[in-house]
Amino acid sequence: MLNYFELSIAFEPFEPFNDIAVAWLSDIGFESFVEENNVLKAYIQEEAFDATKLKEVLSNFQGEQVQVSHSLVLIPGQNWNEVWEREFPPVILENVSIVAPFHSSEYRVGRVIEIEPKMSFGTGHHATTGLMCQAMDSIDFRQAKVLDMGTGTGVLAIFAEMLGASEVVGVDIESWSVANAAENAQRNRCNKVEFILGDIDAVTEGDFQVILANINKNVLTRHLSHYQSLLSDDGVLLLSGFFTFDNDEIVHKAESCGFQLQKTYEKENWSCLQFLKV
């Protein structure tokens, strides 16, 4: 099992520096974030951790009107399913409920996606997942071919099939995420979803009607030209995983790759942008 570093950062004041820290830490490989009592906890795989890069991020707060303290501990590899069973509340969104196997029927409202996260992050709790689900509900997925980049637990790929997609390809760079996503698809009786291991170059076919990408700003901007070639004419691109103050940069780069902004969704300073290939 993989070891993780847990970084705890206390800010005074907490906002908006918590959101700024998430953006900066995402850029250096931190992949999951939790806020508890004005403390931001961030997690990164041991092999991806770079102490020099972390020092640079923390030094960026010098001179700002904020007091910062932090601690770093190594968490040995563990059964993340047991951890989530202790700490994983159900996620009740307007258009879908995301639950774990141990949640009772009272939480299974409307469309229900049952997720057993194991070692994968992407359980539906983050604001960007809700934004993506909200945006997806306004798109016609009937008989659509869909690509889900950075699929994680597979929750968006599963939701795409629920909305009528005829073929869904989920891609992730982590082998354990691909295995977890496949298990979750089976758990939700999905038979039109395929999961593959790799980055954008692992996607060898195109003509997708919808591309979903809830990752981070740097990866998204690197992928944009690939999304353009993989989408069919008039295809829809949904991007999330970045803050509202990144919108202008994302829109500018997307437009340069042949996309036109259609809709913007925002929650808790996070953003989801819907584009049309033109």
Last residue of a domain, one of 42, 75, 108: 75
Percent of the chain scoring above 90 in pLDDT: 54
- Does one domain contain both 25 and 109? no
CATH classification of the domain holding 71: 3.30.70.100
Same-domain pairing of 217 and 152: yes
C-alpha–C-alpha distance, residues 106 and 276, integer Å: 38
pLDDT, residue 265, reads 95
Give the pLDDT confidence score for residue 82 in this predicted structure: 63
Using the predicted structure, report yes or no on whether residue 158 has a pLDDT greater than 70: yes
Q: pLDDT grade, residue 19 (50/70/90)?
A: confident
Domain end marker among 75, 94, 113: 75
**130 and 19: one domain?**
no
Read out DSSP for 132-188? Answer: HHHHHTTS--TT-EEEEET-TTSHHHHHHHHTT-SEEEEEES-HHHHHHHHHHHHHT
> Within this chain, do residues 206 and 223 fall inside the same structural domain, yes or no?
yes
Task: Kindly report the backbone phi and psi dihedral angles of residue 269, in degrees, each rounded to the nearest multiple of 5, phi listed first.
Answer: 70, 5
Cα–Cα dist 148/193, whole Å? 10
Which tops the pLDDT comparison, 259 or 45? 259
Total domains in the fold of the chain? 2
User: Do 71 and 89 reside in the same domain of the chain?
Assistant: no
Mean model confidence pLDDT for the chain:
89
Residue 147 above 80 pLDDT?
A: yes
Q: Which residue has the higher pLDDT, 259 or 176?
A: 259
Whether the CB-CB separation of 153 and 99 falls below 8 Å is answered with no
Q: Are strands 208-214 and 193-197 parallel, antiparallel or unpaired?
A: unpaired
User: Are 37 and 155 found together in one domain?
Assistant: no
Q: Are residues 177 and 214 in the same domain?
A: yes
Q: Say which CATH number the domain at 101 has.
A: 3.40.50.150
Q: Are residues 65 and 85 in the same domain?
A: no
Same-domain status, 238 and 129 = yes
Q: What is the pLDDT of residues 250-269, one digit of tens each?
A: 999 999 999 999 999 998 88
pLDDT per residue as tens digits for the range 206-225: 999 999 999 888 899 999 99
Tokens at 249, concatenated: 């940069």
Q: Which domain holds residue 120?
A: 81-277
Say yes or no: 157 and 210 in one domain: yes
Domain boundary among 75, 105, 122: 75
If asked whether residues 90 and 54 sit together in one domain, one would say no
> Do 38 and 135 share a domain, yes or no?
no
Q: What share of the chain is helix, strand, coil (3-state, %, to 5)?
A: 35, 35, 35
